[in-house]
Amino acid sequence: MHPILKDRARLGTYLLGWVPVALLLLVAGRTLGWTWLGSTLVALPLAILGSGLFLTSWHLCRAFPLERTQGRGRWPAWLMAALVLGNLWAGCGWLIAWGLGRFPDLKVDPRAWSTPWAFFASMGTLLYLGSLALHYVLAALEQRRTSERTEQELRVLAREAELKALRAQLNPHFLFNSLNSISALTTLDPGRAREMCVLLSTFLRTSLRLGEQGSVPLSEELELARSYLAIEQIRFGSRLQVAWEVDEALKAVAVPTLLLQPLVENAIKHGIAQVPEGGLLRIAVVPHGPYAEVTVENPVDADAEPPVGLGLGLQQVKQRLQGCFGHHTYFQTRIQEGRHTVVFGIPREPKEAQP
């Protein structure tokens, strides 16, 4: 559809731009000796006719797009169309003046029109070229909006594909870690191994259910983490201590599903498991301004070399937060005094978290 006609505000602005043209035509009529009424009866219809006639430049704009045509091919078409439409517009003015010439009181003499014909034809030519330039600007704006819309759709599709791949990585990762723990306990403590199998079954059932959802309340993510840690506490025994600091008012905050689990696994695999005496894993959810701030803190081996950049799990969590909440989130990691800390913020009243 025509870019001006489909937008009322744009159409109103375009028609308003023809008011100075009508005034100029009115003054031109007065200089020819016509009465105010006669000049108005020529100027107003001619301006209205021009506003509609020069909208046809949109078709030339579409026929010769700037990005796909050579300059040598465009210029002749532009000039030819401008000269034809400019003279056609001036000829329509002569026809209007000829019709009004039958009323002597208006003093509209169509014979006087031949003198300023070149002026009005030139004016029409320039108006057509101006209209053509306007349409090229509107075409560029429309193309940019379309490109931005397409780019946004591609980003969404890419993010969805990435998150589906993430889910496919997470569940096997849970399973491998847990099965290794069960294998280690089978000969040492069969009773605890059986207990761990039951916990693992419950955990996998819960993780699969949550994995099918785009977002869940924070309370469900915390319960999944509790289930996982219950399994790991059987394996590590007294080496693993867990401290929870959760504000009850924040449990209803919506979070992307399976967001907390990679951080808890990371704390066990790269923290507790690497420290001979184990230590305290601290998980906190507290209000921080407009955010629900989540902290996962665990001990690390003081003699181990600090990691370069973020690990895969941490990087995926950061990317998911940015993909879901844009700049309305933050993600920080630090190692200080033998403790590794991950802190991130989730808007307390966001739109529903995207998968």
Q: How far is CA 263 from CA 11, 186, 225, 229, in A?
A: 55, 27, 10, 12
Q: Name which of 124-133, 153-162, 178-187, 279-288 the model is least confident about.
A: 153-162
pLDDT at 284 over 90: yes
Query: Could you read off the pLDDT of 156-165 as tens digits, one per residue?
Result: 666 665 555 5
Binning pLDDT at 50, 70 and 90, where does residue 353 land?
very low
Higher-pLDDT residue of 38 and 304 is: 38
What is the overall mean pLDDT for the chain?
80
Give the residue from 210, 209, 204, 220 showing the smallest Cα distance to 172.
204
Spans of all domains in the chain: 8-149, 189-347
pLDDT in the model for residue 333: 92
For range 242-256, the mean pLDDT: 92
pLDDT in the model for residue 354: 46
pLDDT in the model for residue 154: 66
pLDDT in the model for residue 352: 44
Name the pairing type of β-strands 339-347 and 291-299: antiparallel
Amino acid at 11: L
pLDDT in the model for residue 212: 62
Q: Hey, is 349 helix, strand or coil?
A: coil
Query: Could you read off the pLDDT of 224-235 as tens digits, one per residue?
Result: 889 888 888 887
pLDDT in the model for residue 355: 46
d(CA 44, CA 33): 17
The class (CATH top level) of 189-347 is alpha beta
